[in-house]
Chains A and B, each alone.
Chain A
Amino acid sequence: MSDPTLLRVENLVKHFSVDRGMFRRPATLRAVDGVSIAVGRGETVGLVGESGSGKSTLGRCIVRLIEPDSGRIIFDGIDVLGLRGRALRAFRRRIQIVFQDPYGSLNPRMRIGPAVREPIEIHRLAPRAAADERVAQLLQEVGLDPSYARRYPHELSGGQRQRVGIARALAAEPELLVLDEPVSALDVSVQAQVLHLLRSLQERRGLTYLFIAHDLAVVRQMAARVVVMYLGKIVEEAPARAIYTDPRHPYTSSLLSAVPRPDPTAPGRRIVLTGDPPSPVTRPSGCVFHPRCPHPLKDDRCRTEVPALRKVGGSQTACHYAAEMDGIGV
């Protein structure tokens, strides 16, 4: 029997050097700072956070668009970071990424057909004569008429372009899709169409998803498990139900509380965080969330001691006072 875990990320670290001008030493931006996650076969894990949380950097490390500084990425039993040459190319086929803005990731001068055919040719997945037939099938599978193969990206609506982005990812016949804010740029009615498509593709092809998003309400529709990141660290990880009904980290509670509800009779926000998230360059000591934390028990320990992820209730959470969260939840 194969391992039920398809992807395992262990203690991944990616720091960037930020130039601060001629006379100052470059600063270190800790984009991803010791993150571990596991994604099971056929599962959807939601990766949630605001700008600067490191969620997109983590996604790009997993598909090896960015080389992490340290840590391990194990995909289907293979140590991904050790791969070179032919083995690396074979691995790349198995994990594909879909970006937020398909307009930025499609070549504006390339028609849709050749764009979708490219991965088939690179990975030699079909004989030349059969490639066009595959492209037509893929377009149909994502809900586009095969005649779209002759069009250019600018002739398509945002939703259609995202369907092309998905078709192109599927062309490589991957097992895991990293979906980086796949519906954030789309209108609400079209968002729902693309989410439905992703769901049905998952069922039909047995795909595994890492769904990266800032919108907790969208993640709720897709993910069985949710990982919440803040300033390069995981602050909470739990089954979706626990995250939404019994969050154990004050940051998760604050995020949930901040989501505007399409219901004018809903009670007002309970928590409004003050201040901006600090930049990942000047990270706070102790718990990275402490300067903005609304937890009533916040104290010196939070300012000095980094909390480790530990099990509290149904969650893994990195808060010294996670067990005393009742009463500040949303």
Chain B
Amino acid sequence: MTMLLAVRDLTTTFETADGVARAVDGVSFDLAEGETLALVGESGSGKTVTALSILRLIPEPAGRIAPGSRIEFAGRDLLSLSPRELREVRGAEIAMIFQEPMTSLNPVLTVGTQIAETVLAHEAASKREARERALDMLRLVGIADAESRLKSYPHELSGGMRQRVMIAIALVCRPRILIADEPTTALDVTIQAQILDLLTDLKRRLGMAMILITHNLGIAAGIADRVAVMYGGRIVEVAPTVDLYREPAHPYTDGLLRAAPRLDGPDRPTPSIPGSVPPATDWPSGCRFHPRCQYAWERCQSEPPLLEAGPARTARCWLVDEPARRKP
């Protein structure tokens, strides 16, 4: 397995009225060729800012990626690229889709124009070739009657179709990585199922790697090879998907899995995690989860590193060292 993307010590901060928010704080992970990694977390965990940092889409000067952060893509350091070099990577080699396609599509351009535009920006193609590619893409993402849909405007499409168009734009230059940020959160559940199946199918056919950002453990379970759980701007656990769900190592992962509503679960509310996610301007000292953790003890006043928690898995929790304390 070759590493396609290596993120090291990524720290992204924002100036806010309440002080400096360390939205992403020392995040490291790898993405292999063809792999799907899910970044899972609740709001404020830093998962979206991680994704935006990879593409350097952090609005400056309020936000900034701290010195010492490294993002290596296919041997190149994305953080030291010139704006021109960066444009060559964005959209062509790493593409991104967002939760609300309506806000990322241009309302006054037809769907066909918007897909073709991406081709023309990145490749030496003629207008006719670009149009042909747009048509192929619409068919590939399963839009019926693709020929006439090329001339549609975004407002004429349903939410599901708009997300398909976004996927078409993202994939038209055959990127090696697709970053999908909550791609189905705004959609109805039956449409969500269609889009998730489409992403799985395209990923296999095009052989690309994917970073899927989601708050929904069900979605991550169905699509990811590996899952990284984020809390308080940090990755708290990484594991192969099956292992993570079978035996979560971090109490936060465990709490999330217990809280997740299930169709085959009991007919009463699931156990909750007490408290709420602290603001990024004021992370707790020590382990960031310790104020909400049922197992916390003195040692949790100092923050654990990501500890080896089994084959190919790590967890940022002292329980990995002292498993006997997990007994209730």
Contacts and interface: CB of A to CB of B under 8 A. Distances in A.
Q: Are A and B part of the same complex?
A: yes
B160 A188 contact: no
Interface of A: 50-51, 157-160, 187-193, 195-196, 199, 214-218, 220-222, 224, 240-241, 244, 254-266, 268-269, 272-274, 276-277
B106 interface: no
Interface stretch (B21-29, B49-57, B88-96, B215-223): B215-223
Contacts of A266: 221
Interface residues of B, number: 45
Contacts of B257: 262
B294 interface: no
A269 B193 contact: yes
Contacts of B268: 199, 221
A258 B193 contact: yes
Contacts of B194: 272-274
Interface in B81-108: none
Interface in B7-28: none
B43, B261, B264, B271 — most chain A CB neighbours (10 Å): B261
Given A192-B271, A221-B261, A259-B263, 5 more contacts: A50-B190, A217-B261, A262-B217, A262-B245, A273-B194
B261 A215 contact: yes
16 contacts: A187-B276, A188-B217, A189-B259, A192-B272, A193-B274, A217-B263, A217-B265, A218-B261, A220-B262, A240-B267, A259-B218, A260-B221, A264-B245, A268-B222, A272-B197, A274-B194
Contacts of B277: 157, 187
A196 B258 CA distance: 14
Nearest to A279: B158
A265 B266 CA distance: 19
Nearest to A198: B269
A199 B190 CA distance: 28
Nearest to A260: B218
B161 interface: yes
A294 to B, nearest CB: 11
Given A261-B221, A269-B193, A191 B188 contact: no
Contacts of B215: 187-188
B146 to A, nearest CB: 15
Contact of A217 (B222, B262, B272): B262
Nearest to B265: A220
Contacts of A258: 189-190, 192-193
A200 to B, nearest CB: 10
A221, A240, A263 — most chain B CB neighbours (10 Å): A263
Give the 7 A-B residue pairs with the shortest CB-CB distance, closest first.
Answer: A260-B218, A192-B272, A217-B261, A189-B273, A195-B269, A187-B42, A50-B188
A233 to B, nearest CB: 17
B269 A222 contact: yes
B121 interface: no
Contacts of B222: 260-261, 264, 268
Contacts of A240: 267
B189 A196 contact: no
B242 interface: yes
Contact of B270 (A214, A221, A256, A263): A221
Interface string B235-270: 000000110010000000001110111111111111
A191 B43 CA distance: 13
Contacts of B197: 269, 272
B216 A260 contact: yes
Given A192-B271, A222-B269, A157 B276 contact: yes
A224 B267 CA distance: 8
B196 interface: yes
Contacts of A159: 276
A143 to B, nearest CB: 10
B294 to A, nearest CB: 13
Contact of A260 (B196, B273, B276): B196
A259 B245 CA distance: 17
A206 B190 CA distance: 35
A223 B189 CA distance: 19
